[in-house]
A and B are shown apart, each in its own frame.
Chain A
Amino acid sequence: MNRKMVVSRGFVGNFGVHETEKHDVMGIFKKPSIKSLGKKKRDMPEGLWHKCPSCGAIIHEADLQQRFRVCSKCEHHFTLTSHERIELLIDPGTFKETEGHLESVNPLGFKSYTDKVKNYQQKTGLKEAVLTGKGSICGAPITIAVMDFRFLGGSMGSVVGEKVTRAIELATAENRGVVVLSASGGARMHEGILSLMQMGKTSGALARHSEAKLPFISVLTHPTTGGVTASFATLGDVIIAEPKCMIGFAGPRVVKETTHQNLPPGFQSAEFMLEHGLVDLIVHRSDMREKLGQLFNFMLPKNAGSAAA
Chain B
Amino acid sequence: MKIEPLEFEKPIVDLENQLAEIRDRSVGHEFELDTDIQKIEAKLRKTKTSVYQKLTPWQRIQIARHPQRPFMLDYVEKSLDDFIELHGDRTIGDDEAMPGGFATLDSQKVVVVGHQKGRDTKENLRRNFGSAHPEGYRKAIRLMRMGEKFDAPIIALIDTPGAYPGIGAEERNIAEAIAYNLREMMLLKVPIIAVVIGEGGSGGALGIGVADRVLIMENAYYSIISPEGCAAILWKDRKYAPEAAEALKITANDLSEMGIVDEIIPEPLGGAHHDHVGAALSLKNVVRKHVSELQKIPNDELLEARYQKFRNLGEFKGA
A residues apposed to B, CB below 8 Å? 101-105, 107-108, 110-111, 157-159, 161-162, 165, 187, 189, 191-201, 203-208, 210-211, 226-227, 229-235, 248-250, 254-255, 258-259, 261, 263-264, 267-268, 276, 278
Which residues of B have CB within 8 Å of A208?
307
Whether B206 contacts A204 by the Cβ 8 Å rule is no
Note all chain B residues with C-beta closer than 8 A to A226: 203
Contacts A203-B179, A255-B166 given: A193-B258 contact, CB under 8 Å? yes
Q: CB of B234 within 8 A of chain A?
A: yes
Q: 23 interchain pairs (CB within 8 A)?
A: A102-B316, A104-B317, A108-B247, A111-B234, A158-B313, A159-B316, A189-B234, A191-B315, A193-B222, A193-B248, A194-B260, A196-B224, A199-B203, A203-B182, A230-B163, A231-B203, A235-B176, A249-B175, A249-B203, A258-B165, A259-B167, A261-B167, A267-B170
CB pair B203–A227 under 8 Å, yes or no, is yes
**A230-B178 CB under 8 A given contacts A108-B249, A193-B250, A197-B313:** yes
* B169 beta carbon closer than 8 Å to chain A: yes
Chain B residues close to A by CB (< 8 Å): 163-167, 169-176, 178-180, 182-184, 186-187, 202-203, 206-207, 209-210, 222-225, 230, 233-234, 247-250, 255, 258, 260, 306-307, 310-311, 313-319
Chain A residues in 8 Å Cβ range of B248: 108, 189, 192-193
Q: Known contacts A159-B316, A162-B314, A201-B314; decide if A196 and B202 are in contact (CB<8 Å).
A: yes
Residues A249 and B250 in contact, CB atoms below 8 Å apart? no
Q: Are A259 and B314 in contact (CB under 8 A)?
A: no
Q: Which residues of B contact A261 (CB under 8 A)?
A: 167
Known A105-B316, A204-B183, A207-B184; contact A248-B307, beta-carbon cutoff 8 A = no
B110 to chain A, nearest CB (A): 22
> For A101, A158, A192, which residue has the most chain B Cβ atoms within 10 angstroms?
A192
Decide: A187 and B315 in contact? CB cutoff 8 A: no
Determine the distance from Cα of A103 to Cα of B319 in the docked complex, in whole angstroms: 9
The answer to whether A207 touches B224 (Cβ under 8 A) is: no
